Structure 1
Amino acid sequence: MGSVSEPRVPPHPDQRCIDDWRPIKVICIGAGMSGIAVGSLFPQYIPNLELTIYEKNAEVGGTWFENHYPGLRPDLTPHVYQYSFASNPNWTRFYPPGAEFEEYLKTVAKKYEVYKNVKFRHRFISARWIEDDGQWEVTLQRLEDGKTITDRAEVLIKATGFVNDWRWPDVPGREKFKGTMLHTANWDDNFDPTGKTIAVLGYGSTGVQITPAIQPIVKQLDHYVRGKVWVPPGGGTNTEELIERGAQNNFDHALEERKRFTENPEQYLEFRKKQEAYCNNVQRIFFKDSEAQKQFTQFLDHNLRETTKPKPWLYDVLRPNYAPGCRRLIMGQMWLECMQEENANIIPKDVKQFTENGIIDEDGVERHYDAIICATGFDTRLDSSGTPFIGRNEKPLSQVWDPDPVAYFGVQPEQMPNLFLMFGPNTAPFAGSIVHTFESAAHYIIKCVLKLQREYIKSMVVKPQAVYNWVKHVDRHMSKTVMTDHCVTWFKRNKPDGRTITMWPGSAMHGHIAWKHPRFEDYEYTSWLPEDDSLAWIGNGNTVAELTGVGDTTNYMDYTDVTKVLPVPTKDYTPPALSVPGSEEKWLGQINGADQLAQKQHAALEEVEADGKPVPNAALDPHAPESTKVAASEEVAPLGPKVDPVMVKLTTVQNPESTADDKPKIKKFY
């Protein structure tokens, strides 16, 4: 057994300063993209923190470390699919290869000193809540020597996501095949497909990415396609300017452009915001029978028909009979185009058996192959029975999640004190970047940890009624969307009419606001303090700065006579009269701009309400009425201190030198 943190019963706080933070330990399982967010943000916001991140691999990155098959890339451009606090102006392509994105994650982890808190090559086995000690006891296997160790912490975070447990297809005879059989999540870099006859199994993002990457060099490629998926061109950020540059497939960022972005961070921020704004504003296409959904369907149908003209029969084979979005959209214009080539075939049949020489399909037809590539994905059921979490009253999470996984706000399951989830059930946004969601969830959890720490709380667990109310709200929202269409998707645990377990009831921006202010009244608590002395955490009446003479005792002071509350778009809003001293002129432009923006929003709300139409939320939507659009230049940033973007320089490409400071600039306690 390894070392175990002893239960830390905090001393009575009545002799401590109110901001003399008691020590608190957090264990995070996983150092993928959400785990790196935890490792970057938690030390910036939580004082006196002991953080340990356990990772099964030998490096950070999670799925981006594990996957390195040909054609790997993010579905979204990394100008959107990156951390808000770690901007990288040096992406070589609009959709760069996966290796470049993996290097980005390593660079962020180095910059924010995540590595010092990570213990690599440790596989999570189980966790058990110890009620008397107010701690989670975590059991892990140390892979370097196979030994089982345990560790303890007051807070446990599960940051393993949906795509960490890859699986072979459930087809008999795999061991009989005499050729090369590969899984994309366990790719052999020594495999050369040149001149070979290849079968690809799997019709998700991975299968659609690898096929066009190898099709030009293979002799023959058969892609076995089960089911039908809508395949839009591009990745949700294709403004007209980007389409002209080739964004529906890909394009290079020239060295000159990357240098300009690096030397002018404000310009790169504007470029990022344009992509993210477009991505954030597509949610309406997922609402049933909406005009946006109808137009989107027509667009995809037209694109499919036009692209398959060289092989017209493929239109009927590939055209789904459910609304776009019910099943995950696959960004695969390059795949559609490559499947029109002479050496590429789509086999719309189930695979029934592997043989020594190849595959037998559902019609009994056998085809011979040199290699079979399984792009059959991951176990996305969120089934924790194999790696149990045992909560209050010895209740396993697998039972709490029967019949379906549920977590309050996607972050905390019922009966699991001090356990929080990154990328839990119902957290994937309908619009916007999942990275934005990771950050929003991380900040929510940070606020919960600070409450535990500050108020000497032993445990916090969500109330059953709050979980019920959350499920009711999620299901009501989903009933308005295409998620209730009849389709087989892992969004619904592969049940055509199942409950949606993955999607957040709104956009990433909506989630950002919802997670910003935790409803602490929806939790039940136990305390280290007696019931009749529950406010002793207020301490001895001093702050540390006052008592020691070290620190700022006036940090609450800021510019005066200037409101920092942006106008709220209500109909009766009138801009306040402002008296702004000369030293505060830098705030005036933002305030006046906010007033103008709010007035435009009010007018837009009145107009659309008068028309009896839903309020449009997409300033950049080409189909929105002109009166509802707000130019990007009129967007107003929140007032107050602003975080400087962190410029990340990848080491794997020849990049212009970054002018950014070496140290992170986001440290700030709530």
Structure 2
Amino acid sequence: MSVVTIAKESHKNPDKFRVDFKDADSVLGPKASVPENETLPTLYTSSKVAIIGGGFAGVSAGLTLLRVNKEPDFVVFERYDEYGGTWYANTYPGCASDIPALWYSYSYELNTNWSRVQPPQYEMEEYILTVVKKYGLHKHARFRKAITKVQWDDTESNWKLYVRDLTNGQLIIHTAKIVITGHGGLVYPKQFECKGLENFKGEYMHSALWRHDVPLKGKNVIVIGNGCSANQLVPALLKDCDVKSVTQVVRSKHYIMPRVPPILYTVYSLLAFSRFGLLLVRLVVALLAELRFPLFKGDGIITNFIRKVNTAISLKYMKKQTPEKYQDIVIPDFKIGCKRMIYDYDYLPTLHDPRIDLRADPIDHITEDSVVFKNGDVVKADVIAACTGYDLNKSFYSYDIIGRNGVNIADVWRKQGPSAYETISIRDCPNLFVLGGPNSATGHASVVMAIENGSTYVSKVIPKLLDGTYKSLVVKTEKYNEWFETAQKELKKTVYGSAFGGCHSWYANEQTNSIVYPYSQITYWWRMEHPNFSDYEITLNEDKKKL
């Protein structure tokens, strides 16, 4: 375990740490498609382990294989031309980590010189690339490659990954004993849909597919949405991009917490010379966040007290910082935590800027140069920026997974709901492990910490697959179903997008909640540290006898 220090090159040249828009649009845009060129010969490649995705999860998987399992025979398939995932693709003005970066980073590679508690996108990307370079992960990368299908071979007991080269459409069939997926959930933009948008003569873009070539100075910008992305985008438009006006269409309400206390960065800066000091600050941040977990679940005395305290803190801050004319638009009335809480950086104070106008009225239609609201108001628009979130279903079903005996996991998930045993293993999928997958997220913790915990779990279950003792390892179907049923039962007691919480959110749909972890992060850490091998069917290589 060690530390890293980034060069801060990203502050001088942020464009170097952003995906090219054309590359991103070809993968995530409304007209995205995977090219196929059957005139080129099929390439056949192999490795012991295949990793899908080059973001925080994919990098974590690679680092774990090198550091813990001492396994160098792996490849990482990534659709972009560089590592980083979300932090390479999401580049809208103001984009930054929404929680302290000391916690939103790898515990074994802590950064000594974050520029602020919640650093900007390009600095987060530079951190990832600094770690990637340190461990030589570029030699394992297969960039501009898209997975279309992964299929288990019952005869050979390995996986066939069907891969397309995004530059020329060539098919690559890659064989691997183990597959680790880390392609993420908040990936595909949910595009804004409205009558007349196709006739708009200005510029339209989603926050997840930002066009930096579009001039914003002196423009009238319409921002659709007011979640985490909009909370960061709106202040940047006004202060950094010098727009003429911002009209923000508020579609739902959110609890906004005060910004992270500046004392945290002071303490971090004082202790940054020591790895022990950095770990101590990280531990304090994690424990303070974990103390809030009870507010998300149940209706007991302690739960209600913590919920009441956090609600009071948020409402006091929101009422103090929000102009009175907007308070009815932005201040929520559901249980805190039902939607992800937002740590404010500069959003609410920005609402006092005379150039901004908040509107709760829905949009009726769009003309060539204006947005027309249901109440008849017409607002001139040069740019429409959609902060409308992500299509989670598309992420779950972004490529086909065909398990043993030809089981199509998409069919299983459509009937039951996306799930993975202990967030890691999918039924009928031997030797396949998921990082950052179904039910691994939380409303109060760091997703990178969850990914790291998942990587620990994987590192503990794969050694005998790597050395050939095990031919295959797959979660028992009854244990998979038991986990799913127990998790969903527990999640019904929580505030996440449920009747109990009193709101609708991206955490859950009418049937299932496939996003949130049902227990505390301390529980998650413990369970990831202690895999239960009795919940798996294990086939030995020697006699193929199941344990």
The TM-score range, normalised by the shorter chain, is 0.7 to 0.9
In 2, the alpha carbon distance for the partners of 1:511 and 1:130 equals: 32
User: What is the CA–CA distance in structure 1 between the aligned matches of 2:62 and 2:541, rounded to whole Å?
Assistant: 27
Give runs of aligned pairs for residues 483-562 of structure 1, distance below 5 A.
483=496, 484=498, 485-493=501-509, 495=510, 498-530=511-543
Match of 2:316 among 283, 302, 314: 302
2:472 equivalent to 1:456: no
Q: TM-score, normalized by length of structure 2?
A: 0.85
Q: Which residue of the partner structure matches residue 268 of structure 1?
A: 278
Q: Which letter does structure 1 place at the counterpart of 2:355? A: N
Larger RCO, structure (CA 8 Å, separation 6 or more)? 1
How far, CA to CA, are the matches of 1:181 and 1:5 in structure 2? 41
Residue 374 (structure 1) aligns with: 386
Q: 2 CA distance for matches of 1:277 and 1:98?
A: 25
1:621-660 pair list within 5 angstroms: none
Larger of the two Rg values belongs to structure? 1
1:324 maps to 336
> 2:166 maps to which residue?
143
CA shift at 1:430, angstroms?
Answer: 4.6
| Shift of residue 177, structure 1, vs aligned partner | 0.8
Q: Does 1:356 align with 2:368?
A: yes
* Equivalent in the alignment of 2:377: 365
Question: Structure 1 length normalisation: TM-score?
Answer: 0.70
CA offsets 1:354-402 (integer angstroms, 9 cap, x no match): 3211223333433221111112222123654452111122222211112
Contact 1:430/1:505 (8 A) holds in 2: no
Pairwise CA distance, 1:271: 2.9
> Could you tell me which amino acid in structure 1 is paired with residue 515 of structure 2?
T
Match for 1:300: what amino acid? S
d(CA) in 2 for partners of 1:431 and 1:356? 42
Greater CA deviation, 225-234 or 437-446?
225-234
Who is 1:95 aligned against? 118
How far residue 446 of structure 1 moved from its aligned partner, in angstroms, is 1.8
Counterpart of 2:431 in structure 1 is 418
Q: What is the deviation of 1:418?
A: 1.7
Structure 2 residue corresponding to 1:4, chosen from 29, 41, 44: 44
Q: Which residue number in structure 1 is paired with residue 198 of structure 2?
A: 175
Q: 1:277 offset after TM fit, Å?
A: 2.6
Over residues 328-364 of structure 1, what are the superposed CA-to-partner deviations in whole Å (9 max), with x where a residue is unaligned? 1122352122123211111113334332112233334
Aligned residue for 2:208, secondary structure, equals helix
Secondary structure, counterpart of 2:98 in structure 1: coil
1:224 aligns with 249
What is the one-letter code of the residue matched to 1:266? F
Match of 1:112 among 135, 149, 159: 135
Q: 1:538 aligns to what?
A: none
Aligned-pair CA distance for 1:66: 0.8
What is the root-mean-square deviation of aligned Cα atoms in Å? 2.3
Q: Which residue matches 2:96?
A: 73
Deviations 1:215-267 (A, max 9, x none): 23222110111121111123xxx4xxx35x4x7xxx7x79xx85x54543333
Matched, 1:447 2:460: yes
User: Is 2:348 aligned against 1:340?
Assistant: no
Question: Which residue is equivalent to 1:292?
Answer: 306
**Structure 1 residues 415 and 190: CA distance shift in structure 2, 3 A:** same
CA 1:125 to 1:155, structure 2 compared with 1: closer, same or farther past 3 Å?
Answer: same
The amino acid of 2:290's aligned partner reads N
Check conservation: 2:185, 2:396, Cα contact below 8 A.
Answer: no
Counterpart for residue 539 of structure 1:
none
Residue number in structure 2 paired with 1:638: none
| Unmatched 5+ stretches in structure 2 | 1-40
The residue aligned with 1:658 is none
Q: 2: distance between equivalents of 1:386 and 1:278? A: 36
The 1:354–1:519 alpha-carbon spacing in structure 2 relative to 1, beyond 3 Å, is same
2:343 maps to amino acid: M
User: Which amino acid in 1 is paired with 2:148?
Assistant: I
Task: Give the SS at the match of 2:163.
Answer: strand
Paired-residue identity, %? 27
2:441 to 420, 425, 428: 428
Q: CA deviation at 1:479?
A: 3.2
State how far apart, in whole Å, the 2-side matches of 1:307 and 1:370 are. 29
Q: What is the deviation of 1:47?
A: 4.2
Report if aligned partners of 2:65, 2:71 keep a CA contact under 8 Å in 1. no
1:434 CA displacement: 1.6
Match of 1:426, SS state, is coil
Q: What are the superposed Cα offsets for residues 1-35 of structure 1, whole Å, 9 maximum, x if unpaired? A: 444357xxxxxxxxxxxxxxxxx711111000111
